[in-house]
Structure 1
Amino acid sequence: MRTSISRKEPLRALIDREAHRAGFDAVAVTTPNAIPLAPVRLAEFVADGFHGSMGWISDTLQRRSEPSTLWPEVRSIVVLAMNYGPDHDPRDVLAKRDRGAISVYARNRDYHEVMKGRLKEIAGKIVARAGGDVKVFVDTAPVMEKPLAEAAGLGWQGKHTNLVSREHGSWLFLGTIFTTAELAPDQAEIDHCGSCRACLDACPTNAFPAPYRLDARRCISYLTIENKGPIPHEFREAIGNRIYGCDDCLAACPWNKFARAASEAKLAARDDLREPPLSELLELDDAAFRVVFSGSPIKRIGRDRFVRNVLIAAGNSGEAALADPVRALLGDLSPLVRGAAIWALARLVSKAEYSQRAAIGLKTESDGAVRDEWRLARPDRTRA
């Protein structure tokens, strides 16, 4: 990429200027050896099984914990952050049980797409000014963005394990530019959490066994996004109407009081995903799902997993009007959807109706996991 870059302008000044021009809210520099504690912490996370079914974390353990292992030629790492803070408390929708709660970040266009092209533009200008080589990453390679952001001074990893900024709270997308250029590193940020445990206490599923430690297997974001199978019964009620991710620990952070709302135009925010009706989402087939979530990060989990999540929310809603679309999904082609529909139905209809449908279902269902749902849906907790 060729650009008309002044050779007199210091490289760091160019990076700062181009980063802000591209819509990034913060930029800082660190070195590839600036996160010496990360390998041990990551290994402990994997050894405890806290990564759940995310096998790519254990498979890339060494490369993920040491940037120079990923790319030996790297000399400096530019960490860039984009604010996606909401203009409201995202937990407000949790009281509207007939609506779905979608994590704030997923109401925007996929941040990978938003950020990667802009990072490449900046990286190209670094090469044009300083020569050498660059690599750009946005959560698409084994890079530990949060420890690197802390080392660069953009914030610190809070007790909820996410990055916290004194200027932007807990609402930052992160991307990195690895470069062979030698840049003076910025000063690392220190921890400002103090004795606060608001984020830990806010977690609906007790996913934090200790401050700064996350058991992903209990995290609603993991359960509704990364988890490919049925939602474990022990977490279904706690999930409430959260149908994609969870913002509770982020929203609880007191540092958010200093954050400003992100520009909706910059992130291509979608109002239709702010409080979508569960009734409409339950009717999505695969084709409709792809249309509705085109350009959204939600698209990557596929229709079946998403409708599974919506069915859990429907079961928690107490809305008898949702029973009809739930009934329609008892015959869905996906066992994952059928199983979730059974659980939702058991909570929305009378014991008599459930018992009658269960008797038929146990005779006609061929999938073992779905048959188990008929047995375990606990009709004793349905409406009389």
Structure 2
Amino acid sequence: MSEADALRQKDLLVQDALSEGFSVVRVTTPDAIPFAAERLHRALEDGHHATMGWMTDHEDRRGNPRVLWPDVRSIVMLGMNYGPDEDPRALLERADRGAISVYARNRDYHDVIKGRLKLIAGRLAARTGAEVKVFVDTAPVMEKPLAEAAGLGWQGKHTNLVSREFGSWLFLGSIFTALELPPDEAEADHCGSCRACLAACPTDAFPAPYRLDARRCISYLTIEHAGPIPQEFRAAMGNRIYGCDDCLAACPWNKFAQSASEMKLKARDDLLAPELAELAGLDDAAFRTRFAGSPVKRIGRDRFVRNVLIAIGNSERLELVKVVLARLDDASPLVRGAAVWALGRLALERWEVERDARVDAETHVSVRAEWARAQPVT
């Protein structure tokens, strides 16, 4: 293919992607992230991936796109704006409501983006005959370094992508193609001396700028972590029941971001500020119905209600004690344990009464450990 034809195909691809709702499209080469493998290896060696064992799987593929697919010659990086209509941190002041991360307030973005990527990539393949592959987050693709190399933005000190046009609010997807397309220039780092994102983290999850320790991250703890929330992070969670947007929302570049509602990614009304009391009472069927199509559904009812009970324990709302008491008899030990802690935070005298009545009959070691804590309110 001639240089002119390659440029024409790139222009057609970009226009197609924009018409499908993507906000920005750029192209890079598979050898454009030479330092990514080393950085990934360091993070894994330091244990910053916590229990996310999938990050160690196929580590070589993550660090080198050509290992993932030897025939790739160009990588198209696409971003979709999902910026909120207002600062999501405002919800943290409403202690009786649950804060769900902005990205999870509508349909699962994996489904939204992957469907559109397949359409775009399919049309590119039909026009050119070149083989294509599409990826959205779940594959071993280091999307943020590639997006930086393609010029969509740069990896900020919070390790997320930052765009001069869309702030910290971009969903990312990629199209690998055997077609050689003209690459775009990489974006430079524009963080400067700013440390707003680092200072905003409630749990000090950044051991250094540009490094994230997932073991301390509320997003990891509320989504990926399967067991009881570690004691030291429970109070810092506040009312965050799925993910955490603090470092993203603190980024000064967000002032340039356009509202995602213009892109038809507006949040579902029932996920903007749901009542903790209602969420704590969800059984498995009700949970599945409430979060149908949402990424929240993937963590399961027990893990979600665990998060809700931690939020209730942080709420200082005495009227929620009855909600907590109902969960002391829950079938899930994960939920029962979180209810024990929440009760101790809200009503210590009642906690002592319930402990004396229940601890001997409790069979699960993690729940017995919650009852055995000398100071449940810490």
If the TM-score is normalised by the length of the shorter chain, which range does it land in? over 0.9
**Is the counterpart of residue 11 in structure 1 residue 6 in structure 2?**
no
What letter is aligned with 1:233?
Answer: Q
Q: Provide the residue aligned with 2:373 in structure 1.
A: 376
Match of 1:354 in 2: 351
Alignment partner, residue 31 of structure 1:
29
Describe the superposition over 1:145-174 as per-residue Cα deviations: whole angstroms up to 9, x where unpaired. Answer: 000000000000000000000000000000
Identify the match of residue 209 of structure 2 among 208, 211, 227.
211
Deviations 1:312-331 (A, max 9, x none): 00000000111111101101
> Is the Cα–Cα contact under 8 Å of residues 109 and 268 in structure 1 kept in the other structure?
no
Deviation at 1:271, TM superposition (A): 1.2
Q: Which residue of 2 aligns with 1:153?
A: 151
Contact 2:260 2:266 in 1 (8 A): no
Letter in 1 for 2:372: R
Contact 2:82 2:259 (8 Å CA) reproduced: yes
1:363 is paired with a residue whose SS is coil
**Distance in structure 2 (CA, Å) of the matches to 1:132 and 1:167:** 31
Query: Aligned pair in 2 of structure 1 residues 361, 194: CA closer, same or farther (>3 Å)?
Result: same
Q: Which residue of 2 aligns with 1:3?
A: none
**CA deviation map 1:202-260 (0-9, x unaligned):** 00000000000000000000000000010000000000000000000000000001111
> Structure 2 length normalisation: TM-score?
0.97
Q: Confirm whether residue 198 of structure 1 aligns to residue 196 of structure 2.
A: yes
Is residue 2:369 matched to residue 1:367? no
**255, 258, 264: which is aligned to 1:257?**
255
Hey, what's the Cα distance between the residues in 2 that align with 1:217 and 1:366?
Answer: 28
CA positional deviation for 1:360: 2.1
Asked if the contact 1:110–1:297 (Cα under 8 Å) also holds between the matched residues in 2, the reply is: yes
Q: How many residues align?
A: 374
Aligned CA distance change for structure 1 residues 137 and 334 (closer, same or farther; 3 Å): same
2:162 maps to 164
Give the secondary-structure state (helix, strand or coil) at the position aligned to 1:225: helix
Cα deviation, residue 267, structure 1: 2.2
SS at match of 1:175: strand
Confirm or deny: 8 A CA contact 1:346 1:377 kept in the other structure: no
* 1:322-341 to 2 correspondences below 5 Å: 322-341=320-339
Structure 2 residue ranges without an equivalent (≥5): none
Q: In structure 2, what is the Cα distance between the partners aligned to 1:237 and 1:8?
A: 55
Aligned partners of 2:181, 2:377: CA distance in 1, in Å?
65
User: CA 1:34 to 1:8, structure 2 compared with 1: closer, same or farther past 3 Å?
Assistant: closer
Distance (whole Å) between structure 2 residues aligned to residue 286 and residue 325 of structure 1: 17
On the 8 A contact 1:155/1:163 being kept in 2, the answer is yes
Distance 1:379 1:29 in 2: 53
CA contact (8 A) 1:361 1:371 kept: no
Question: CA 1:13–1:98 in 2, change beyond 3 Å: closer, same or farther?
Answer: same
Quick check: 2:84–2:260 contact (8 Å CA) kept in 1?
A: yes
Alpha-carbon deviation of 1:65? 1.0
Paired position in structure 1 for 2:46: 48
- Any stretches of 5+ residues in structure 1 without a counterpart? 1-6
Structure 1 position 8, deviation (Å): 10
Cα 1:209–1:324 change in 2 (3 A) is same
The answer for the alignment partner of 1:112 in structure 2 is 110
TM superposition shift of 1:359: 1.6
Please point out which of 111, 135, 138 is paired with 1:137.
Answer: 135
Q: TM-score when scaled to structure 1?
A: 0.95
Q: Which amino acid aligns with 2:124?
A: I
Superposition misfits of 4+ residues, deviation over 6 angstroms: none
Question: How many Å apart are 1:272 and its aligned residue?
Answer: 1.1
1:130, CA displacement in angstroms?
A: 1.2
Is contact 2:84–2:261 with CA below 8 Å preserved after alignment?
Answer: no
Residue 10 of structure 1: how far off its partner (Å): 1.2
Cα distance between partner residues in 2 of 1:129 and 1:380? 64
> Residue 361 of structure 1: CA displacement?
2.1
Q: After TM superposition, give the deviation of residue 184 of structure 1 in Å.
A: 1.1
CA deviation after TM superposition for structure 1 residue 263, in Å: 2.3
**Which residue number corresponds to residue 55 of structure 2?**
57
Q: Deviation of residue 379 (structure 1)?
A: 4.4
Secondary structure of the 2:56 match is helix
Does the 8 Å contact 1:108/1:269 carry over to 2? yes
Please name the residue that 1:90 is paired with.
88
CA distance in 2 between partners of 1:33 and 1:377 (Å):
56
Q: Secondary structure at the match of 2:288?
A: helix
Distance 1:268 1:96, change over 3 A: closer
For 2:360, what is the secondary structure of its paired residue? Answer: helix
SS for the counterpart of 2:96 is: coil
The residue identity in structure 1 corresponding to 2:364 is D
Alignment RMSD, CA only?
Answer: 1.3
SS at match of 1:45: helix
* Cα distance in 1 between the residues matched to 2:94 and 2:261: 26
